Structure 1
Amino acid sequence: MNRYKLMVQGTTSDAGKSVMVAGLCRVLARKHFDVAPFKPQNMALNSAVTIEGGEIGRAQAVQAQAAGLKPSILMNPVLLKPNTDTGAQVIVRGKVLSDMDAREYHAYKPKLLAMVVETFDDLGKQFEHRIIEGAGSPAEINLRDNDIANMGFAEAVDAKVVIIADIDRGGVFAHLYGTYALLSPTEQARVCGFIINRFRGDPSLLDSGLTWLTEKTGVPVLGVIPYLKGLYLEAEDAINVQQTDGDAHFKVVVLGLPRISNHTDFDALRLHPKVDLTFVRPGDQWPNADLIIVPGSKSTRGDLAALRTQGWDKQIARHLRFGGKVIGICGGYQMLGNKISDPNGVEGPAGECLGLGYLNIDTRLQGTKQLKQVCGTVEINGKKATISGYEIHVGESHSNDLQPFTLNGVKDGAISSCGNILGGYLHGMFDDPDACNLLLHWAGLETAHSQASDMDQLREAGLDRVADAIEAHLDLDTLFADIRGSLSWKK
């Protein structure tokens, strides 16, 4: 059987590359093909823990699920986690390499290309077919030199390319034609098709534009994917906006920290029919809240300083005086403690700062980043629920408070003596319905209104829905011409 390599590139960020790769992986997996996702370079603060105990972009974990696989470091060899406006932590094959500013990283990229190609080949030893996701746009002229994320990688591994554009943004023909025109002749020769994404209305209205585009470029439009209303799939790095139910009455406020990480922790709350979730950002008017959540952070001490600058510490204090509840997750958990020390400058200049003082814990940032998938129980006020998720953090927090979580057989987290403040390192603590119901009941939502969703089932339904749309609206016989004659394709 032919080994198939297809790369999905976009005219812009958020054109739909991640979802398209996930959908194509699900289509091929449903046809019993041996397929895996791959993204050479990802930039995101939303990450996942792999089966090897490494760290990759969360989008690749979702794509792995679409293919029926566990996430692996081979699926995303380079992950950039921004820690300033001009710098990022560089993670290579799941482990931290170093912090680099933008110029340092650009100069370092030639050294990464061979490793990225080798990782792609390693993935190919396990899976016959690979669907690759690009990053941003291949037409960013200033990033063409030493490119490892788009056409530079496609040429290095001799992959076919499709280019996707989001028509909901407007200017779709300019996006597609302009992107194609800015490619070199050898890069243009790799483009086997265009895909138009998120279309609302009658697709026949596009016919004249599709004909024009094909005549101008010689590249076929493989299909027009409709706008899928209400689709749930985890966003790669943009915070999803909640579409609230008119009956949602339990108010949850999440602090929109400058370096907020793993915002998908709150998807279960965003989708809960009785929860009205708000991300409060700098300058926003502070909304009423039943529950305040201090989220994870890539720069804990820096975000704690920003929290105080915004006056959010005073809002939290006022909220607690009126009997409200507060949850801290990972970096937010550290902020709720007594102090955070960083003697070796793990997250910035070495030093120490006072926490908010609501949990009796001290945190020391040092050593290797802890990356692990965990499961266990959460117990609050004598009630228990099963819980699972993952941890991504540096350092340790030592607690003298009650510990509500038991994860992989070890006690974790803290709950204050007054019972109104809770925290822990567990990402995904709301994803299990029973745990979500227990936590929300503790926070004040009546038991009768506890209607938490099973996030894994929602993700599966979303992946199937995307795959159904792809099968209905894309010319898969042309896209997969190299393998469509196999027995699997006919099933």
Structure 2
Amino acid sequence: MSSAKSLMFLGTGSDVGKSVLAAAFCRIFKNEGYRVAPFKAQNMALNSFITPQGGEMGRAQVVQAEASGIEPHVDMNPVLLKPTSQMGSQVIVLGRVIGNFSAKDYYEYKKELVPIVRGAFERLCAQNDLIVIEGAGSAVELNLKEHDLVNMAMAEMAGAKCILVGDIDRGGIFAALLGSFSLLEAGERDRIIGFIVNKFRGDPRLFEDGVQILQSRSGVPVFGVVPYFENISLPEEDSVALGRRMANAHTKTAPCAIRIGIVRLPFISNYTDADPFENDPRIDLVYFDRPAQIFGFDAVIIPGSKNTIEDLAAMRKNGMADALCAFHKSGGTVVGLCGGYQMMGSIVRDPLGIESSIDVIPGLGLLDMETEMYPEKITSQVEASVISESLPFPGRREMLSGYEIHMGRSISRGEAKALFRIVRREGKAVDMEDGLAQPDGRAWGTYIHGIFDNDGFRNMFLEDVGRRSGKIVAPVSGSFSFRLWKEEQYDKLAELVRKHVDVARILDILLR
């Protein structure tokens, strides 16, 4: 192994801010001139990403890689779990699906993953000066310790120096930090170089007495108290974050804002497809799960799903399927992405039980196509062009890039026309059609994720929805660039953390 040093962020629980702080330190170390890479041995995520090599990995490490200024690679997240039910997950190792596992079966299989995780970590170490490691959930889930792969077991494997992160916003910060610290074994406590108190509302100086209490009772320093922030946005990947988005939904003040609704599916995945809309001042974006909410929108997007058939069955049961069809009939625009695209067809089949025990289910009937699930998962980055003869974008030949992650194959059976022509897949020239659009352009879908990250295509879509809704979509001042906007967020995050955390002291300890 190289002489790369490892800094690990452990948490007192889930959603305390480990991912965000890891991203912040990736950008801070990059700005200091170090070669830095992120790492998380095992991630459970709703959202994933496809690397240029066609491997699938968790979104958090993609964000951290972007903050590090490097290309994402599956070595940064060698094990990815994607929940397919309440009791099981699809297991992805080094970017490739190896199967669906129950929790019990996965625990038994975990020991085989140790050398794979070690190999991925060592490859990163050989190419970098610093590795920023993220733990998972609580570092002291005592009943799971025997099977640990991602917290203290990973810290030991990496020889990492660790920072324990607590969330003061949810209350109980002393019990969380001191309790977690005390539950660690003596050798594990020796790896903790300090605490960070995260999400403090108000003036952090008001917590100076709290800092002294934490330090005196633990014997380790508090490196900083990071304020709660709402003016910095980063892509998120779990159900906790999605719930927060629904709770914090707000309406733009612009009278002509385009209102876009995202259906909150039970097994929603890759909802980061909507991230560019959240930060565009022309758009009012709302996640919703009640059918009665649908008629206030100009367009509705059915997002990706980790279990298309089960989500379709849930929509039929709660009335969302009927509401979507009625919304479209009344003149609304409906867009389906990946699993949502599959749902828009006439039928979805799963004869091999790839995703569900339901072998066939009627679709929404908004697109005349049929879908069948297959064992082989398609994972690839693509470049595509809009087919100019198709509505809703006639006469346009906009180029875009994105990625595919799907088990299903869909076949058109009627008048709907292909929407995109894929010209490159995994870096190789191809000529393939993707997606379908109704003749009137008010219902369309695609397997390509990330299409709205492309500024030109996103503007085309908004212009079409605005025209149909009688709203004028004005150009954004300075031509809003989603890529540049993300870079600004990483810089703002690094600046905030550097202001409130003793980065110099952490670096000094790390490099000894």
**TM-score bracket for this pair, using the shorter chain length:** over 0.9
CA apart distance, 1:344: 2.0
The amino acid across from 2:253 in the alignment is G
Aligned position for 1:371: 379
Percentage of identical aligned residues:
40
Aligned position for 1:106: 107
* Matched residue SS, 1:303: helix
Query: After TM superposition, what 4+ stretches of structure 1 lie above 4 angstroms from structure 2?
Result: 282-287, 482-485
Aligned position for 2:152: 151
CA apart distance, 1:108: 2.1
Greater shift after overlay, 227-236 or 4-13?
227-236
Q: CA RMSD in A?
A: 1.9
* Contact 2:294–2:327 under 8 Å retained in 1: no
* Matched residue SS, 1:145: helix
CA apart distance, 1:274: 2.6
CA apart distance, 1:285: 4.7
CA apart distance, 1:173: 2.1
* Matched residue SS, 1:246: coil
CA apart distance, 1:405: 1.4
Report how many aligned residue pairs link the two structures.
485
Check if 1:351 corresponds to 2:366: no
* Contact 1:477–1:484 under 8 Å retained in 2: no
* Contact 2:204–2:226 under 8 Å retained in 1: no
Check if 1:274 corresponds to 2:274: no
* Contact 2:161–2:510 under 8 Å retained in 1: no
CA apart distance, 1:26: 0.8
CA apart distance, 1:477: 2.3
TM-score by length of 2: 0.90
Aligned position for 1:430: 452
* Contact 1:242–1:270 under 8 Å retained in 2: no
**Superposition map of 1:38-437 within 5 A:** 38-237=39-238, 238-239=241-242, 240=245, 241-247=248-254, 249-281=257-289, 285-349=293-357, 351-378=359-386, 379=388, 380-399=393-412, 400=414, 401-407=416-422, 408=424, 409-437=431-459
* Contact 1:340–1:364 under 8 Å retained in 2: yes
CA apart distance, 1:432: 1.6
Greater shift after overlay, 426-435 or 375-384?
375-384
2-structure distance, mates of 1:450, 1:88: 43
* Contact 1:42–1:78 under 8 Å retained in 2: yes
CA apart distance, 1:287: 4.8
* Contact 2:75–2:124 under 8 Å retained in 1: yes
* Contact 2:22–2:38 under 8 Å retained in 1: yes
Greater shift after overlay, 278-287 or 379-388?
278-287
Aligned position for 1:449: 474
1-structure distance, mates of 2:30, 2:249: 31
* Contact 1:341–1:351 under 8 Å retained in 2: yes
* Matched residue SS, 2:398: strand
* Contact 1:254–1:277 under 8 Å retained in 2: yes
Aligned position for 2:427: none
Give structure 2 stretches of 5+ with no counterpart: 425-430
* Matched residue SS, 1:15: coil
CA apart distance, 1:471: 2.0
TM-score by length of 1: 0.94
Q: Among 437, 462, 468, which residue is 2:489 paired with?
A: 462
Say if 1:17 and 1:467 are closer, same or farther in 2 by CA, change over 3 A.
same
Check if 1:479 corresponds to 2:492: no
2-structure distance, mates of 1:321, 1:97: 42
* Matched residue SS, 1:207: helix
